[in-house]
Amino acid sequence: MKKVLIIEDNDKIRKLLKMELMHEGYLVDLAEDGKIGLEKFQEGSFDLILLDLMLPGYSGEEICKIIRKTSDIPIIVLTAKDQILNKVELLDMGADDYLTKPFNIKELFARMRVVFRNKKDFYSNNFIKYKDLKIDTEKKSLFINDEEIKLTKTEYNLIYNFVLNKEIVLSREKLIEDIWGWDFQGDLKIIDVYVNSLRKKIEEKNKKYIKTVRGFGYVLKYDEK
């Protein structure tokens, strides 16, 4: 049975998360500020941390950086929209994923399952993999069967998001928020332009990676014909 540490200063959210997680069969421990959260992490044994970004004691960013010095425990950040620029910055500071408040509890459970799966068989040193796609997170490069594919910064961030969320349908809004930030003011169709550009670089006639979910967005799901 997996054990989750919730570090959240909002009492209502903290108790709601505990109730929902316990209902799903998780063991749960709680911390109402950053200092207590770090102490509980150091004293206990957890499989995942749900971490609020704005906390008394230590901020979520500080906690991520401290924990990452000694542990690769999965960390999912829970944040208000005005507290984050983009997902790449959060990942750089040590988080595995994030959800913007308010969020659907089923989406949280789905992302927790992905993080657990990723940590088990997805990461290898500085690489993350899906089928024959391999991303070097240190060099920010993509390889297919060990052949490097030249990408722009935006194309890299896009495939990085897809691989992190493999086989999970992502809306255009979610992709834009992850790559450009919640305050992006442009046309949502810009994501279609970059998806098409990425497809041309990574797909072949009989090998497809990115599927369109009509009226919603995209999903990274390998299809070989």
Q: Indicate whether 111 and 173 sit together in one domain.
A: no
Of the pLDDT bands very low, low, confident and very high (cuts 50, 70, 90), residue 9 is: very high
Domain limits for position 196: 123-224
pLDDT band at 166 (very low <50, low <70, confident <90, very high): confident
Average of pLDDT values for 75-93?
A: 73
- Are 166 and 129 within one domain? yes
The confidence score (pLDDT) of residue 122 equals: 46
**Higher per-residue pLDDT: 4 or 70:** 4
CATH number, domain with residue 10: 3.40.50.2300
pLDDT of residue 11: 93
Percent residues over pLDDT 70 in the chain: 92
Whether 172 and 115 map to the same domain: the answer is: no
pLDDT of 32 > 60? The answer is yes
Going from the C-alpha of 212 to that of each of 140, 168, 199, 209, 221, the distances in angstroms are 25, 12, 11, 10, 10
What is the rounded average pLDDT of the residues 191-209? 92
CATH number for the domain that contains residue 130: 1.10.10.10
105/189 same-domain check: no
Which of 95, 121, 147 is a domain's end point?
A: 121
pLDDT at 108 over 70: yes
pLDDT of residue 86: 62
Task: Indicate whether 117 and 144 sit together in one domain.
Answer: no
HEC letters along the chain: CCEEEEECCCHHHHHHHHHHHHHCCCEEEEECCHHHHHHHHHHCCCCEEEEECCCCCCCHHHHHHHHHCCCCCCEEEEECHHHCCCHHHHHHHCCCEEEECCCCHHHHHHHHHHHHHHHHHCEECCEEEECCEEEECCCCEEEECCEEECCCHHHHHHHHHHHHCCCCCEEHHHHHHHHHCCCCCCCCCHHHHHHHHHHHHHCECCEEEEEEECCCEEEEEEEEC
Predicted confidence at residue 120, as pLDDT, reads: 55
Q: How confident is the model at residue 26 (pLDDT cuts 50, 70, 90)?
A: very high
Q: Is the same domain home to 95 and 154?
A: no
Report the pLDDT averaged over residues 148-162.
Answer: 93
Residue at a domain's end among 75, 95, 121:
121
In the chain, the number of structural domains is 2
Does residue 169 share a domain with residue 59?
A: no
Confidence of residue 82 (pLDDT cuts 50, 70, 90): low
Query: Can you tell me the mean pLDDT for 83-106?
Result: 78
pLDDT at 188: 78
Q: Do 128 and 117 share a domain, yes or no?
A: no
Query: Could you tell me the pLDDT band of residue 6, with boundaries at 50, 70 and 90?
Result: very high
Separation between Cα atoms, residue 222 and residue 29, nearest integer Å: 38
Mean pLDDT value across residues 202-220: 90
